[in-house]
């Protein structure tokens, strides 16, 4: 509490995530958290602050700067009956562990003919918006969503930050959780979940009838803000939060497009070969005759993320871009 | 162990004969060997185990030429003493992580010739249900975790198995096999650092056969004394005559005892040689015929056979009996594999996630 100086009654996304970790560590002694600076430092984004004191250095385990070794160690530990939660500082650094994630975590079950499930959770931050420049700001979760054998989650709300971890740990297969860096300080009242959080379904964050804004993670607040603006103009936008990037909830996408007959995908990744491309293709394949307008995409500019604030803002999908794209589709 | 000596070994395969003792780069004072007393029965077991691997793979060559088995097939012929000797030091509860050159490790671990051969054929009765093939042998019940075809990719995973065993209060050791080529990969160094830092119960077995595909050790390593480099991470490290199964066994016993006593990871550099090409695709143009012949003069199977004959522990009749038994075993494995069912294509998407298939029992 209070790391952000937030009001007592409110919870931040960071605190919600921490509470999820605390609950996981408390409720199952096979669970341990491992990563760079998760212990004494408290996590480079402060997520695990205090957990070392509570659970000790065996279970809140600082690792050397060895992404490949400690992600691989998480895989091995999962094979041997533990339930590791591995934290990687950012998705950019996860590329040093991509071999372990793709060649081991995602494939061992298959290569072994079903003998070796890997019950591992890997958490990492993603996304831009804090002027951290090109090596700390990219959104590569779509690349991971390309890989069969893993599940990819993008909690965008306090409730998902708080409640997605437990089912992720219960999943017998590897689960990657992407936490957008700009969400950690988002605060609000943490509502009790009305139903157990499942990892298979997208959520309608705002119902609407004129256009479907399909998004996830750090772009959700922008899509909701755009929907507010559009509502003021009399355009009713439905906001779909994908929540799970792999496997995609095709039914939810189809159902929404069938209601609104217009679709837009908002994704902070680059447009070329992005998750937005995948979602658009699926709409074209499955809901073509429902469409009254071409699918719109709002993505990041095709440039390594610049440092300069004005340029970074220009590179990222912004609320105004979403509103403009909605006009193209609706008008 | 000096760099000069490593280089000399390449040209002088007879060199390790100078003693059956292992060379110590750094010795753990507390590990007095309680190695099994050498006995005729035990030596016969070692011989049989090596012969099983040899004959299995010789049959693989025939089957490959006959296009019965496909893919990348990496033979272990010449290196059998390493798998057999190391396995002697392990219990069934210990874990083993291996590479794509793992037929020998799998068979020494007790995976049947039937299960391995069926895997080569891609049949459902294979130890990986036909999904892995030669490079991806697995057997969860024997804690045999691959079969990893990414050079050095098994090392971090092995560290994790060791970590979990320790966190769960078990005394098991994880043994990870890898080649000299892995020494050039970051994953080796990350894992060595992590394992030594955390004192993990990990046995690192480097099979130094002097080549990474066609690249000789001195062309891929700035410093060719591998045991010395491993020792620099603060772990016990030895260089061992990898052609002498008894020397391998003794070194592995000592290392495993040290690991179980809590002294952290141990490293064994097994000085060995593959008699065949890197894989079935490789025309083997980068090695001297003379060098190969020299190493063949220290064939681990002949070495043990000769020793036993000299001791009067082994006669022609006994050798013939073992050979016959193994030939029958492999004949039967081939026959069973030929008849084994292929997985229906409707099952293609099984084993992608746990919910997408029932696991092979
Ligand atoms: C990361 C990686 N790079 C390259 C390869 C291709 N490759 C397969 S085996 C091999 C040589 C490895 O040599 P070594 O580790 O000494 O093992 P050996 O084959 O001698 O047993 C190479 C380069 C690979 N499988 N993985």
Ligand 1: distance of its center to the CA of B180 in Å? 9
Instruction: State if pTM tops 0.95.
Output: no
Cβ neighbours, 10 Å, residue B159: 34
Whether A72 sits inside 8 A of B147 (CB atoms) is: no
Assess whether A67 carries a catalytic annotation. yes
**Residue B169 CB burial class (10 angstroms; 0-12, 13-18, ≥19):** exposed
Residue A22 to residues A195, A234, B214: CA-CA distances in angstroms? 21, 44, 51
A151 close contact with B: CB closer than 8 A:
yes
Residue A90 bridge partners (DSSP): A125
Residue B37: what pLDDT?
Answer: 67
Describe the crossing of helices A319-330 and A220-232 by its angle, rounded to 10 degrees. Answer: 50
Residue A119: what pLDDT?
Answer: 98
> B86, B27, B13, B29: which is closest to B273 by C-alpha?
B13
Assess whether A327 carries a catalytic annotation. no
Ligand 1 pocket check for B151: Cβ under 6 Å: yes
- Chain B nearest CA to A111, separation (Å): 5
Ligand 1 pocket check for B181: Cβ under 6 Å: yes
Which residue among B157, B190, B350 sits closest to A66, beta carbon to beta carbon?
B190
Residue B167: what pLDDT?
Answer: 97
Residue A12 to residues A5, A43, A156, A182: CA-CA distances in angstroms? 10, 15, 12, 11
Which band of pLDDT confidence, cut at 50, 70 and 90, is reported for residue A9? confident
Ligand 1 pocket check for B213: Cβ under 6 Å: yes
Which band of pLDDT confidence, cut at 50, 70 and 90, is reported for residue A201? very high
Q: How many alpha carbons fall within 13 Å on the CB side of residue B70?
A: 4
Residue B281: what pLDDT?
Answer: 86
Whether A115 sits inside 8 A of B131 (CB atoms) is: no
Which band of pLDDT confidence, cut at 50, 70 and 90, is reported for residue A233? very high
Chain A: residue whose CA lies nearest to B94: A80
Residue B32: what pLDDT?
Answer: 42
Coil/strand/helix, residue B317? helix
Determine the average pLDDT of the residues in A255-281: 98
Residues B241-277: tens digit of each pLDDT: 999 999 999 999 999 999 999 999 999 999 999 999 9
Q: Is the pLDDT of residue A6 over 60?
A: no
Chain B: residue whose CA lies nearest to A61: B198
Whether A69 sits inside 8 A of B358 (CB atoms) is: no
Q: Is the pLDDT of residue A329 over 50?
A: yes
Which residue has its alpha carbon closest to ligand 1 atom 18? B179
Q: Which residues of chain A lie closer than 8 angstroms to B120, CB-CB?
A: none
Ligand 1: distance of its center to the CA of B86 in Å? 21
Whether B351 sits inside 8 A of A114 (CB atoms) is: yes
- Chain A nearest CA to B211, separation (Å): 23
Ligand 1 pocket check for B221: Cβ under 6 Å: no
Ligand 1 pocket check for B187: Cβ under 6 Å: no
Residues B289-337: tens digit of each pLDDT: 999 999 999 999 999 999 999 999 999 999 999 999 999 999 999 999 9
Q: What is the mean pLDDT of chain A?
A: 96
Ligand 1 pocket check for B102: Cβ under 6 Å: no
Residues A142-161: tens digit of each pLDDT: 999 999 999 999 999 999 99
Residue B38: what pLDDT?
Answer: 79
List chain B residues with pLDDT less than 70.
Answer: 1-37, 357-361
Which residue has its alpha carbon closest to ligand 1 atom 21? B179
Q: Which residues of chain A lie closer than 8 angstroms to B148, CB-CB?
A: 103-104
Determine the average pLDDT of the residues in A277-299: 98
Whole-angstrom distance, CA of residue A113 vs CA of residue B132: 7
């Amino acid at each position: 509490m209070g790391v952000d100086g937030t009001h007592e009654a409110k919870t931040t996304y960071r605190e919600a995530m921490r509470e999820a970790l605390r609950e996981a560590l408390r409720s199952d002694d096979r669970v341990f958290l491992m990563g760079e600076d998760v212990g004494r430092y408290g996590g480079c984004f402060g997520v695990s602050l205090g957990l070392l004191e509570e659970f000790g250095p065996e279970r809140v385990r600082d690792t050397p700067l060895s992404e490949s070794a400690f992600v691989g160690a998480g895989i091995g530990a999962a094979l041997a009956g533990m339930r590791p939660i591995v934290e990687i500082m950012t998705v950019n650094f996860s590329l040093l562990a991509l071999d372990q994630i793709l060649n081991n975590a995602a494939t061992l079950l298959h290569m072994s003919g079903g003998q070796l499930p890997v019950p591992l959770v890997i958490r990492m931050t993603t996304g831009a918006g804090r002027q951290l420049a090109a090596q700390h700001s990219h959104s590569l979760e779509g690349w991971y969503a390309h890989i069969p054998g893993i599940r990819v989650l993008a909690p965008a709300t306090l409730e998902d930050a708080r409640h997605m971890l437990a089912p992720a740990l219960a999943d017998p297969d590897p689960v990657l959780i992407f936490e957008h860096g700009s969400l950690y300080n988002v605060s609000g009242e943490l509502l009790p979940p009305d139903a157990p959080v499942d990892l298979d379904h997208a959520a309608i964050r705002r119902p609407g009838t004129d256009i479907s804004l399909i998004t996830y993670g750090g772009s959700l607040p922008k899509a909701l803000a755009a929907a507010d603006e559009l509502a003021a103009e009399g355009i009713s936008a439905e906001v779909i939060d994908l929540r799970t990037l792999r496997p995609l909830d095709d039914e939810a996408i189809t159902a929404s497009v069938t209601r609104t007959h217009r679709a837009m995908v908002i994704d902070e990744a680059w447009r070329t070969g992005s998750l937005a491309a995948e979602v658009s293709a699926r709409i074209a394949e499955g809901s073509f005759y429902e469409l009254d307008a071409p699918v719109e995409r709002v993505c990041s500019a095709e440039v390594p993320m610049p440092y300069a604030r004005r340029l970074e803002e220009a590179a990222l999908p912004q609320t105004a871009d979403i509103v403009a794209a909605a006009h193209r589709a609706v008008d | 162990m000096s760099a000069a000596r490593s280089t000399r070994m390449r040209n002088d395969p007879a060199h390790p004969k100078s003693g059956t003792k292992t060379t110590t780069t750094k010795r753990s004072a507390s590990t007095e060997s309680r190695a099994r007393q050498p006995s005729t029965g035990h030596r016969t077991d070692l011989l049989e185990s090596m012969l099983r691997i040899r004959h299995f793979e010789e049959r693989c060559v025939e089957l490959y030429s006959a296009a019965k088995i496909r893919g990348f097939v990496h033979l272990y012929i010449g290196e059998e003493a390493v798998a057999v000797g190391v396995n002697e030091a392990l219990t069934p509860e210990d874990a083993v992580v291996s590479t794509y050159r793992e037929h020998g490790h799998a068979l020494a671990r007790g995976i049947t010739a039937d299960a391995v051969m069926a895997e080569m054929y891609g049949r459902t009765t294979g130890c990986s249900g036909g999904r892995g093939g030669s490079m991806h042998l697995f057997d969860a019940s024997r804690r045999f975790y691959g079969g990893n075809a990414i050079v050095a990719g098994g090392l971090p995973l092995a560290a994790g198995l060791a970590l979990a065993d320790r966190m769960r209060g078990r005394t098991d050791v994880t043994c990870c096999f890898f080649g000299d080529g892995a020494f050039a990969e970051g994953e080796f160094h990350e894992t060595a650092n992590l394992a030594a830092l955390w004192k993990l119960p990990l046995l690192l077995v480097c099979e130094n056969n002097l080549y990474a595909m066609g690249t000789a050790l001195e062309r891929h390593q700035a410093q060719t004394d591998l045991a010395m480099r491993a020792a620099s991470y603060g772990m016990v490290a030895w260089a061992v005559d990898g052609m002498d199964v008894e020397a391998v066994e003794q070194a592995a016993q000592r290392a495993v005892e040290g690991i179980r006593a809590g002294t952290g990871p141990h490293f064994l550099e097994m000085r060995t040689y593959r008699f065949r090409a890197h894989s079935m695709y490789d025309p083997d143009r980068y090695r001297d015929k003379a060098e190969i012949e020299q190493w063949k003069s220290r064939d681990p199977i002949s070495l043990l056979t000769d020793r036993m004959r000299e001791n009067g522990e082994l006669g022609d009749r006994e050798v013939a009996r073992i050979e016959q038994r193994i030939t029958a075993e492999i004949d039967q494995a081939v026959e069973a594999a030929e008849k084994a069912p292929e997985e229906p294509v409707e099952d293609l998407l099984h084993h992608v996630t746990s919910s997408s298939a029932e696991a092979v029992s």
